[in-house]
């Protein structure tokens, strides 16, 4: 059967097209072969256009032969294209010197918050504390009721706390870990609970709706406020250096009695006063005090005749003092250029 476009038979045309495709030296030459045979005005479409001139009894065989020719040429073009692309990918880039040593990426650094948590955990471990953890989603009972928080306390308001549809909430502090741990363990207890907390705070230089705390709890038969002051002063000096000043101010918390607030001297301004410390020379770090008897009763500890202290401190505040960070929001902007300096 002739191709009606010249003297070549369809098998001969097929052999020639496949050979030309396989011999194409580059993508441009291969595209020229494709257009010659498969393009809209190419030889194979021309052959298919002659179908109407073929006697009816031969059209079926003729059409099949042209389609087989088309498939074979297309397959040859695709195969050569893949081979050319593979060769290009394995070919060294122009001007590339294979004898040069590779360029290694620098190792990442630990985020300041993670670094402070690790350091604080190490300090408290050294004086006998163990680490306890709990979920971010808590019950109202663990977050408020068991911690002796009155029903009308402002912290229960939806303007201060993230409540969820099912009635649970995002924990406002890591104190619920203390409740869970005491309910699962008999005294004595000596734990710290680092973790993420959530409150509806308006972000500013020292506040964020998402922050981190380390809660501490020490329960035994003879624990006093002096133990609390000694342990937190030891922590401050180990974390901040021997020159840091610590002060304890009377305060009120529902879950401790008596209660104190703990301040560290501001390292950003050296105590002279700045934006970070609100020009007071001090930064509030922790709330603390002796565990309220109602909390011990809620977890069943009152029957053991024990007492103890608890504290909760802000990790971001410590990071700001230690690293001289003027705005807490800098810790969450994920600017690698800024965060890398703390590694």
pLDDT tens digit string along 279-298? 888 888 899 999 999 999 99
Alpha-carbon gap, residue 28 to 208, rounded angstroms: 60
pLDDT of residue 8: 60
Average pLDDT, the chain: 89
- Strand 307-314, strand 282-291: pairing: antiparallel
Greatest Cα-to-Cα distance within the chain, rounded to the nearest angstrom: 112
pLDDT of residue 290: 97
Structure confidence by residue, pLDDT tens digits, 149-190 = 999 999 999 999 999 999 999 999 999 999 999 999 999 999
pLDDT at residue 3 greater than cutoff 50? no
The position carrying tokens 């670094």 is 115
Please, what is the end-to-end C-alpha distance for the chain in angstroms?
79
pLDDT of residue 221: 93
Q: What is the share, in percent, of the chain residues with pLDDT greater than 70?
A: 95
**Contacts by 159-163, CB closer than 8 A, 24 or more apart:** 159/200, 160/199, 160/200, 161/199, 161/200, 162/198, 162/199, 162/200
Alpha-carbon gap, residue 187 to 168, rounded angstroms: 28
Strand order in the sheet with 189-198: 130-131, 189-198, 210-220, 307-314, 282-291, 256-265, 246-253
């Amino acid at each position: 059967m002739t191709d009606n476009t010249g003297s070549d038979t369809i098998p001969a045309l097929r052999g020639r097209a496949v050979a030309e495709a396989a011999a194409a030296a580059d993508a441009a030459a291969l595209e020229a072969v494709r257009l010659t045979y498969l393009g809209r005005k190419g030889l194979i479409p021309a052959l298919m256009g002659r179908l109407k001139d073929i006697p009816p009894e031969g059209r079926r065989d003729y059409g099949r032969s042209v389609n087989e020719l088309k498939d074979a040429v297309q397959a040859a073009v695709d195969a050569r294209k893949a081979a050319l692309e593979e060769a290009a990918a394995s070919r060294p880039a122009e001007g590339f010197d294979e004898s040069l040593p590779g360029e290694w990426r620098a190792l990442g650094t630990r985020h300041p918050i993670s670094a402070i948590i690790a350091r604080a955990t190490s300090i408290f471990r050294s004086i006998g504390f163990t680490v306890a953890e709990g979920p971010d989603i808590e019950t109202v009972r663990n977050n408020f009721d068991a911690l002796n928080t009155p029903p009308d306390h402002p912290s229960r308001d939806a303007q201060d706390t993230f409540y969820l549809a099912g009635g649970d909430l995002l924990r406002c502090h890591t104190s619920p870990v203390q409740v869970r741990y005491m309910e699962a363990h008999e005294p004595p207890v000596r734990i710290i609970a680092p973790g993420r907390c959530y409150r509806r705070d308006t972000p500013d230089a020292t506040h964020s709706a998402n922050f981190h705390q380390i809660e501490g709890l020490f329960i035994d038969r003879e624990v006093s406020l002096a133990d609390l002051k000694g342990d937190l002063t030891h922590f401050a000096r180990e974390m901040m250096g021997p020159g840091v000043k610590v002060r304890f101010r009377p305060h009120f918390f529902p879950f401790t009695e008596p209660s104190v607030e703990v301040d560290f001297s501001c390292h950003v301004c050296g105590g002279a006063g700045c934006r970070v410390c609100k020009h007071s020379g001090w930064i509030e770090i922790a709330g603390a005090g002796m565990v309220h008897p109602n909390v011990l009763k809620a977890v069943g500890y009152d029957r053991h005749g024990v007492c103890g202290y608890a504290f909760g401190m802000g990790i971001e505040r410590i990071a700001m003092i230690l690293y001289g960070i003027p705005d807490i929001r800098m810790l969450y902007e994920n600017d690698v250029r800024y965060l890398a300096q703390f590694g």
